[in-house]
């Protein structure tokens, strides 16, 4: 394998979805993983930057390629929940969550075993464990025979990639390979939880909602920094990822806490120049002309809004927008994940007209 350089040749390979046809590509990607190299892969949430979770060198490469602080731990992906005990000490509550939500967009923090290098967990005694449902991610873990450390495959601080093109924009020349398996179904990263016995704390909200977790865990708490990311900077955050500015496009995101009518009034009064409006299809027709429309989908469709968010934030930059206006979203159900990402993109600033 080529030694690590920042101007390496990144191979871009397409996955057809037909297992026999994809076999040679998957074998090649698995060999890159076993040799300590990096492959960007589709998952059901966002594209991940995959490296072996058993090799310290791979973790260092991931941090370097992303430009990510090395105290922000990586999620380790396994083929199925039964493999959790190979890298961690699963608990009874883990088993119950796993039966209901794995494979899928749920990550559980567990005490780690010694075979996972400290470099993977940022020196923490715990490891975040996830079983992706995406078949490409799943097969890469199986064929390589390695658990896979994979953060989102973006440059640190930028919105997570939901297509292989996004990965190419951020990481071309910095990683060995990109597997293009089409756009991601969910569009936001997995739900991350910590367990204390039967009590579950949501460290990062995702498609497995608080309501869904409550059907399995006796109590579910949402960490304060989920709703107020500015709090994560103070003291020791519950999850290291909380303290970093995230998901931000270059354009300034301005969140307005207002009804539809008041929002339209605010835009009329304040918006000028090269700006965008991140709004539902229905709302778009109600707003004064002049802004570029960044459509989140039908009104009230949280799932579609989540699927589109990161791609729309990237589009804002492609359009060279100076700022993007959006209404403050609700926080129930799948909207909590949307709220958490957009409030971070806005640097926690909310305008209350």
Pairing outcome for strands 191-196 and 126-130 = unpaired
When the beta carbons of 49 and 346 are compared against ligand TXA, the nearer one is 49
**Min separation Cβ 186 and ligand TXA, Å:** 8
Q: How far is the CB of 274 from ligand TXA (least distance, A)?
A: 30
The residue within the footprint of ligand TXA, chosen from 87, 128, 210, 321 (CB under 6 A), is 128
Strands 199-204, 219-222: parallel, antiparallel or unpaired by DSSP?
A: parallel
CB of 138 to ligand TXA, least distance (A): 12
The dihedral built from the CA positions of residue 292, 295, 299 and 303, taken in this order, carries a sign that is: negative
Q: Mask 254-283, x = binds ligand TXA (CB under 6 A)?
A: ------------------------------
311 binds ligand TXA (CB under 6 A): no
Residue in this structure with the two tokens 């040679």, named with its chain if needed: 24
* DSSP run (H or E) holding 128: strand 126-130
Q: Is 337 in the site for ligand TXA (CB under 6 A)?
A: no
Minimum gap (Å) between residue 1 Cβ and Mg ion: 25
Asked if 52 is part of the footprint of Mg ion (rule: CB under 5 A), the reply reads no
Cα–Cα distance, 314 to 152 (Å, whole number): 15
Residue 24 CA: distances (Å) to CA of 43, 58, 183, 222: 20, 23, 22, 43
* Among 203, 313, 326, 345, contact with ligand TXA (rule: CB under 6 A): 203
How far from the centroid of its chain's Cα atoms is residue 102's Cα?
A: 17
Q: What's phi and psi for 348, nearest 5 deg?
A: 70, 5
Footprint on residues 138-157 left by ligand TXA (CB under 6 A): 150-152
Q: How far apart are CA 72 and CA 46, in angstroms?
A: 18
Nearest CB to Mg ion, comparing residues 134 and 152: 152
Q: Which is nearer to Mg ion, 205 or 276 (CB)?
A: 205
Q: Is the peptide bond before 103 cis (omega within 30 degrees of 0)?
A: yes
The yes or no reply on residue 190 touching Mg ion (CB under 5 A) is no
Binding site for ligand TXA (CB under 6 A): 43, 45-46, 48, 72-75, 107, 109, 121, 124, 126-128, 130, 150-152, 189-190, 192, 203-204, 239-241
């Amino acid at each position: 394998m080529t030694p690590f350089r920042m101007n390496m040749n990144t191979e871009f390979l397409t996955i057809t979805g037909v297992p026999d046809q994809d076999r040679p590509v998957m074998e090649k990607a698995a060999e890159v993983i076993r040799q300590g190299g990096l492959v960007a892969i589709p998952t059901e949430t966002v594209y991940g930057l995959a490296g072996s979770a058993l090799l310290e060198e791979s973790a260092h490469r991931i941090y370097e390629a992303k430009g990510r602080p090395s105290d922000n731990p990586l999620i380790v992906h396994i083929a199925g929940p039964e493999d959790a005990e190979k890298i961690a000490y699963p608990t009874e509550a883990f088993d119950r969550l796993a039966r209901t939500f794995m494979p899928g967009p749920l990550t559980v923090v567990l005490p780690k075993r010694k075979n996972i290098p400290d470099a993977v967990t940022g020196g923490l005694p715990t490891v975040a464990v996830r079983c992706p449902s995406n078949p490409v991610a799943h097969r890469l873990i199986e064929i390589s025979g390695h658990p896979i450390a994979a953060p989102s495959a973006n440059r640190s601080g930028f919105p997570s990639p939901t297509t292989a093109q996004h990965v190419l924009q951020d990481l071309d020349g910095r990683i060995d390979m990109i597997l293009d398996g089409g756009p991601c179904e969910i569009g936001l990263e997995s739900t991350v939880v910590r367990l204390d016995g039967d009590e579950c704390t949501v460290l990062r909200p995702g498609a497995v909602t608080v309501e869904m977790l409550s059907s399995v865990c006796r109590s579910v708490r949402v960490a304060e920094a989920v709703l107020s990311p500015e709090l994560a900077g103070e003291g020791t955050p519950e999850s290291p990822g909380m303290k970093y500015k995230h998901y931000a496009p270059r354009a300034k995101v301005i969140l307005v806490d207002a009804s539809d009518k008041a929002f339209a009034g605010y835009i009329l009064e304040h918006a000028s120049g090269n700006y965008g409006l991140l709004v539902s299809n229905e709302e778009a027709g109600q707003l004064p002309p002049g802004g570029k429309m960044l459509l989140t989908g039908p009104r009230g469709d949280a799932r579609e809004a989540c699927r589109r968010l990161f791609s729309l934030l990237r589009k804002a930059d492609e359009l060279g927008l100076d700022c993007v206006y959006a209404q403050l979203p609700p926080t129930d159900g799948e909207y909590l994940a949307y709220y958490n990402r957009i409030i971070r993109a806005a640097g926690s600033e909310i305008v209350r007209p």
